[in-house]
Amino acid sequence: MNYDATTGTTLARQIARGERSAIEVLEDTLGCIAATDGRVNAFTSKTVARARAEAAAVDVRRMHGEVLPALAGVPFAVKNLFDISGEVTLAGSIVNKGHEPAKEDAFLVQRMRAAGAVLVGALNMDEYAYGFTTENSHYGPCHNPHDLTRIAGGSSGGSGAAVAAGQVPITLGSDTNGSIRVPASLCGVWGLKPTFGRLSRRGSYPFVHSIDHLGPLADSVGSLALAYDAMQSPDPLDPGCHAVAIEPTAAALQKGVQGLRIGVLGGYFHDNATAPARAAVKAAAKVLGAMDEVKWPDAALGRAAAFIISASEGGTLHLDDLRARAQDFEPLSVDRFISGALQPAAWYLQAQRFRRLYRDKVNALFEQWDVLLAPATPVSAPVIGTEWLDINGQQQPCRPSMGLLTQPVSFAGCPVVAAPFWPEGTGGLPIGVQIITAPWREDLALRAAMVLQTVGVSHLKTPAL
């Protein structure tokens, strides 16, 4: 797929004008998946019959002269922790294979369908979302489309790789500690982790109730905003959904960043980033006019607390299965799940009490600033199977370290757009930049992202697959 010509927004326009049919677009999409996924391994299942029915319905509506919704005929796919009616929700596991098929689509899949988007399948991920690499032992590792020997990131690895490979323009993922932003960074695509509580999580398989977010990855800022807008809705049936109104962003993407106070996160975010990651941020800062270095409060403590809460809630969620069939869990994460389940309550409660203090400090920071920039990952994509990373002379365990720069931000619940950059020193691989704003200000992050895209410094690249 050529990203200059066929982004999701372009497809939506072409279908709405009758320049292409939804069926034609769908068949191209299925052809691309068939031609590339043997090497990428982004998809774990395809919903071909359903997709053909949905695409045909879009074409019938257009023939009848109906005004089509914003994403009519645009193909998309979802991380396999989203419920798809009639399918078993695997969440990357084999343990869940014995579960009943979902009775209805997840709330966000319903919202995408209502906007006319066509679901083509479910995507690879780390088991139960506990990982940053999508080296899934049950379903095989997801390969980075820009270098098939390397990871796609995780836990929404299939969601990042499918967009990067040009298989679909939009995917959905989840992000507890960085699981949208890490694959977006390593695959070189756009990602949005909204405010904690913005989008309903109903009908998705949980990892950490206290921190789980859902959101889109996409081939352009326009596609990202259209998907995000389509999915917004209050949902009183998700206790973690705090949205009270739909606040659309797509119409205001071109407003620019004039007058916004934009800074670059230093300290922890500088120290835990390699030179290419810093260069990516510098390039973004130059375009956005960000001159000042800003200190994020208690970043290391925020990361520690997120780590402890994730381990404890994640481990406890699976305690019954860990007792009965630990041998069926992912070998790369089962010991972490068990460790989390055994953690002292005092660690967990201290982390949860700290989180309230942390929230207040982060909110105070955004009284001074509108947009803050930081790298999304310390490095570009490592080779599959890498155990240790060298980050500025420090040997760090590879798998948890991929979330070093994302965890402190999601723990505060702030919205973040991950923007794809291609700095020198990575052998041609991407590294993302986090565009961070105050809670409930996704609009500002998307506006800044649009500036970066329009100027041309942040964009996708077509991989040689």
Strands (E), 152-308: 170-175, 190-193, 213-218, 262-265, 292-294
Distance CA 405, CA 428 (A): 21
Question: Token pair of 363, please?
Answer: 């909110």
Eight-state DSSP code of residue 278: H
Inter-CA distances, 16 with 34, 66, 191, Å: 26, 10, 25
Among 88, 287, 338, 465, which residue interacts with another protein (rule: CB under 8 A)?
338
Distance CA 401, CA 391 (A): 9
Q: Is 13 in the site for another protein (CB under 8 A)?
A: no
- Per CB under 8 A, the segment of 178-186, 303-311, 378-386, 450-458 that binds another protein is 303-311
Q: Reduce the DSSP state of residue 125 to 3 states and report it.
A: coil
Given 21, 93, 174, 179, the catalytic residue: 179
Torsion 82-48-46-174 (CA) sign = negative
Distance CA 69, CA 76 (A): 15
Q: Is 323 in the site for another protein (CB under 8 A)?
A: yes
- Per CB under 8 A, the segment of 32-40, 170-178, 344-352, 414-422 that binds another protein is 344-352
Among 319, 332, 455, 465, which residue interacts with another protein (rule: CB under 8 A)?
319
Q: Is 311 in the site for another protein (CB under 8 A)?
A: yes
Minimum CB separation of residue 6 from another protein in Å reads 40
Q: Is 210 in the site for another protein (CB under 8 A)?
A: yes
Minimum CB separation of residue 59 from another protein in Å reads 39
Among 247, 261, 266, 307, which residue interacts with another protein (rule: CB under 8 A)?
307
Q: Is 350 in the site for another protein (CB under 8 A)?
A: yes
Which residue, 336 or 447, is less far from another protein as judged by CB? 336
- Per CB under 8 A, the segment of 140-148, 263-271, 354-362, 374-382 that binds another protein is 354-362
Which residue, 123 or 199, is less far from another protein as judged by CB? 199
Q: Is 63 in the site for another protein (CB under 8 A)?
A: no
Distance CA 62, CA 66 (A): 5
Q: Is 209 in the site for another protein (CB under 8 A)?
A: yes
Among 12, 122, 227, 304, which residue interacts with another protein (rule: CB under 8 A)?
304
Are residues 376 and 268 in contact, defined by beta-carbon separation less than 8 angstroms?
Answer: no
Minimum CB separation of residue 299 from another protein in Å reads 11
Inter-CA distances, 161 with 51, 73, 308, 400, Å: 20, 21, 29, 20
Which residue, 289 or 397, is less far from another protein as judged by CB? 397
Minimum CB separation of residue 125 from another protein in Å reads 21
Among 62, 181, 202, 336, which residue interacts with another protein (rule: CB under 8 A)?
336
Distance CA 143, CA 159 (A): 11
Give the pairing type, strands 118-123 and 371-375: unpaired
Task: Tell me how many residues contact another protein (CB under 8 A).
Answer: 38
Distance CA 227, CA 35 (A): 26
Summary count for the chain: helices (H), strands (E): 16, 17
Minimum CB separation of residue 357 from another protein in Å reads 6
Inter-CA distances, 393 with 271, 381, 388, 390, Å: 11, 18, 12, 6
Distance CA 145, CA 169 (A): 14
Q: With left for phi above 0 and alpha for psi between -120 and 50, is residue 134 left, alpha or beta?
A: left
Question: Token pair of 388, please?
Answer: 């240790």
Given 155, 159, 310, 401, the catalytic residue: 155
Asked if 361 is an active-site residue, the reply is: no
Asked if 401 is an active-site residue, the reply is: no
Note the residue count of the chain: 465
Asked if 179 is an active-site residue, the reply is: yes
Among 357, 425, 427, 428, which residue interacts with another protein (rule: CB under 8 A)?
357
For residue 101, which amino acid is it?
Answer: P
Q: Is 239 in the site for another protein (CB under 8 A)?
A: yes
Minimum CB separation of residue 421 from another protein in Å reads 30
Minimum CB separation of residue 333 from another protein in Å reads 10
Catalytic (active-site) positions: 79, 155, 179
Binding site for another protein (CB under 8 A): 209-210, 236, 239-240, 300-301, 303-305, 307-308, 311, 319, 322-323, 326, 335-336, 338-344, 346-347, 349-357, 359
